[in-house]
Structure 1
Amino acid sequence: MALRNVIGGVEVNSASGATSDIVDPATGAVYGTAPLSGSEDVDRAYAAAAEAFGSWRWSTPGERQLALLRFADHIERHGEELTAVEVRDTGKPTALTLSEEIGPMVDQLRFFAGAARVLEGRASGEYLRGHTSSIRREPVGVVGQVAPWNYPMMMAIWKLAPALAAGCSVVLKPSDTTPASTVWMARAAQEFFPPGVVNVVCGDRDTGAALVAHRTPALVSITGSVGAGIAVATAAAGNLTRPHLELGGKAPVVVFDDADLEAAVEGIAAGGFFNAGQDCTAACRVIALPGIHDEFVAALTARAAATRTGDPDDADVLYGAINNEAQLTRITDLVARAGQRAEITTGGAPLDRPGYFFAPTVVAGVSQDDEIVQREVFGPVITVQRAADEEDAVRLANGTDYGLASSVWTGNVDVAGRMAARIDAGCVWINTHIPLVAEMPHGGFKHSGYGKDLSMYGFEDYTRIKHVMHKHGFTG
């Protein structure tokens, strides 16, 4: 299979003809190629987006809503086909991908379709005698976007939907290891959006750097690592381009002595191992109070040992392959170093089979300054550390550079309220971990970035605010 870029409504190869291999992580075998785009391809995509923006920006909210709704309907109708494309790039379980990603993606498109018609601003009025002021919400302009490999098709929707709803045109680069579903959706989008409104350019880090440093975009958005976010913010600063950064996470999961142990173990295992832990909000860093710590470690270890990973078509697996060989090596090395200082109670190594599979792993007895506590693993690995009391739990929870997501497990509503206020993260779940809804914002603090995805807050990031003042002379 040979993918091509989608630029100005047309599928094209890279200008140089260069390609990169696409690997099925469930087998480790190459199954296709994608364009390895350069600066000439990025220039061409931005030129198409800029031309399209000239007319798309004047489309009505109702017209944009209808296009997004039709796009959502198309994805819903062809969900099984799109899932098969995604699974081959990611190694995810087919049934879970279909049930847990296609539905939310369709819902998110429909949410932003509705949001296009309900943007708000301050009421028009006479804030200065003899003058009437009003606020215009306008699309920010052409947008450059870089999506990650952990949720390729869903993150593409998170980026495309609010931008298109606002009236922006887009140049989107998927990860070089997972481009297929994004190209599939870009081809489909041509039926519903004018040529040049949705452009996809495949490539590697150099392609992404060219996309971000380009003078055309008014905003650049990335979902990725902290290092990638810093590079994007630095490059964007050269043109005073707005950056929108959704970066890594190291979610603290605080389990109090009065928590429902069974519910906590089940919820945390699901939140930590789903998608092979390749989720910036994964329940990866448990902080247990002393009265429940030992029992929790034993129960989580048993639950992890019973968790299965394997082939996409195996209906009994919770998660599939690690996305790529380099990431599998990184996880393996991080866990091996952790095992020199702490106890690996289960798992701790790759599976002896084709593909990139890592066993569900629990590491207990970690310390706050351990590498595996401070750095994002992005794999099916959950650490557990002991907190002395509530105050200590807050200190440990906030004691990393990240601030994306967290959860608190307790039967005490006062404790839950205090912890929700004191944890320094963009989301605090109470007695659950990882559910998301289109109406609520997703985004972090500190090194987890800034800007919001989903919700009206995420929508507003793709708009600019203009004050219009009309002098009419009437003073009452």
Structure 2
Amino acid sequence: MATDPHRLRNYVDGEFRDAADGRSTEVVDPATGEPYTTAPCSGPADVDAAMTAAEAAFPAWRDTTPGERQKVLLRIADAFEARAEELTATESRDTGKPLHITRAEEIPPAVDQIRFFAGAARMLEGRSAGEYARGLTSLVRREPVGVCAQVAPWNYPLMMAVWKFAPALAAGNTVVLKPSDTTPASTVLIAGIVGDVLAGLGHPRGVFNVLCGDRDTGRLMVEHPAPAMVSVTGSVRAGHEVAATASISLKRVHLELGGKAPVVVFEDADLDRAVEGIRAAGFFNAGQDCTAATRVLVHESVHDAFTSALAKAAAATRTGAPDDESAYYGPLNNADQLARVSGFIDRLPAHATVLTGGHRIGATGYFYAPTVVAGLKQDDEIVQDEVFGPVVTVQPFTDEAQAVAYANGVEYGLASSVWTRDHARAMRMSKALDFGCVWINTHIPVAAEMPHGGYKKSGYGKDLSAYGFEDYTRIKHVMTSLDA
């Protein structure tokens, strides 16, 4: 069974299967630090079987109409709603996230995003047919790219699975999706849901396949000759490796990587609103979000008051187990991530000051206190590198030019925000900030209709929106003689 709490399985060509060589890995509950199930550790035979299934299913799925694909996605969305509690419980167990947060903040957007791409399937846009050379008519076809190899991260395993498979299927592609080895359970559950919908509507189950496994499994997927496109959400290191490997066979690559979002607070901002917005966006999901509000830049005239208020708000933010209704966030996802976050604090320079937090909570699980660090310089490690934990840094700036220089002075370019009452300043900043998203007087909301993706070492390609949908298509020029 897909939902067997003691053993997860791959989903290949409509069947749940163990790894061909029997290898498996333990899946650890981050709230306890103890293993609670096992998942396959897929090898070459498993990857080949999944890719073969996706290749075999592609012609039939490619030839479906947009309306038929829409119907599939709408049924999947309905199934997500019907099984919302099961999805919530599975996701929370795997990630340690509070149940009440997952139920309210992740399941409804995931359903909405599937429904958006169901509609997008029927709204392809392009240049109209016309005569651009005498006696010849040209038109443009948009076609699916083929088999898509997709790798999802551990911070939002359910939602990132949706961001990947929904546009791919809507465009007519077939999918082999790998969840993180630390959070495979919700993706395995999704596989059963999608497979049942496909079969119920008479489509090949091989349209959607899920492989559990480790980094080597992902590498095998990228190396396999079947995929025409590779989509990965993960670290910059992973992006480098995927891009290099995919380049050998010239596969199309879609990368959503790390972030180090600047949050620029000017002296005229509503400081109470900014403190609460940054607290919420900085500590949501334990700061394990590449768009998290983790790097705050505050005008020097309000720096001390703002920093004190933010530290107080952070100290009042609770972390706890999934069933803790008062918890705003849960544990870090795994032992390695706990060690990474702790390492940043342990290595702080002497001029830095931890205003609150900066330590693990409890002896079991991977809980970390909400942390605010001040007294930092632009070239400090914790300012330049992604922490991916409940840690917010604060730096003062003197004027708008310095704010822009500090904000852009990192290798990432995913998301940013500006807090000001001055409309002209907000517009200048939105132009100057070198990030794929600029929020004004808010931070972290996304909309299915709007693109999500970054610049520089944050990767390339867009998720969500019509732009994300188009990333899963290819363009063909067709020209015909009018004399025929």
- TM, length-normalised to structure 2: 0.97
Distance 1:108 1:311 in 2: 28
2:391 to 374, 381, 385: 381
Distance 2:228 2:16 in 1: 25
Distance 2:39 2:349 in 1: 39
1:316-465 matches, within 5 Å, as 316-338=326-348, 340-465=350-475
Q: CA deviation at 1:388?
A: 1.4
Which residue does 1:289 correspond to in 2? 299
1:275 to 285, 289, 296: 285
Distance 1:266 1:376 in 2: 22
Distance 1:352 1:51 in 2: 51
Which residue does 2:72 correspond to in 1? 67
Distance 2:220 2:302 in 1: 51
Which residue does 1:172 correspond to in 2? 177
Distance 1:369 1:309 in 2: 30
What is the SS of the residue equivalent to 1:217? coil
Tell me if 1:156 matches 2:161.
yes
Which residue does 2:190 correspond to in 1? 185
What is the SS of the residue equivalent to 2:462? coil
Distance 1:422 1:338 in 2: 30
Which residue does 1:244 correspond to in 2? 254
What is the SS of the residue equivalent to 1:190? helix
**Aligned letter for 1:309?**
T
TM-superposition CA deviations, 1:256-303 (whole Å, max 9, x none): 000101000000000000000000000000001111111110000000
Q: CA deviation at 1:81?
A: 0.7
Tell me if 1:301 matches 2:274.
no
What is the SS of the residue equivalent to 1:243? strand
Q: CA deviation at 1:339?
A: 5.5
Which residue does 1:314 correspond to in 2? 324
1:223 to 215, 233, 238: 233
Distance 1:352 1:186 in 2: 35
1:16-35 matches, within 5 Å, as 16-35=21-40
What is the SS of the residue equivalent to 1:253? strand
Distance 1:126 1:418 in 2: 42
Distance 2:150 2:232 in 1: 6
Distance 2:57 2:184 in 1: 23
**Aligned letter for 2:432?**
R
**Aligned letter for 2:211?**
V
Distance 1:354 1:141 in 2: 45
2:118 to 94, 102, 113: 113
Question: Unmatched 5+ residue regions in structure 2?
Answer: 1-5, 199-203
For these two proteins, the number of residue pairs brought into alignment is: 474
Which residue does 1:472 correspond to in 2? 482
Which residue does 1:209 correspond to in 2? 219
Distance 2:220 2:213 in 1: 10
Question: Unmatched 5+ residue regions in structure 1?
Answer: none
Distance 2:395 2:340 in 1: 22
What is the SS of the residue equivalent to 2:106? helix
TM-superposition CA deviations, 1:48-77 (whole Å, max 9, x none): 000000110000000000000000000011
**Aligned letter for 2:61?**
W
What is the SS of the residue equivalent to 1:271? helix
**Aligned letter for 1:51?**
A
Distance 2:419 2:410 in 1: 20
Q: State percent identity of aligned pairs.
A: 63
Q: CA deviation at 1:427?
A: 0.2
1:134-145 matches, within 5 Å, as 134-145=139-150
Which residue does 1:49 correspond to in 2? 54
Distance 2:272 2:349 in 1: 27
Q: CA deviation at 1:353?
A: 3.4
Q: CA deviation at 1:21?
A: 0.0
TM-superposition CA deviations, 1:139-198 (whole Å, max 9, x none): 011000000000000000000000000000000000000000000000111112221100
Distance 1:195 1:75 in 2: 18
- Structure 1 residue runs of 4 or more that deviate by more than 6 Å after TM superposition: none
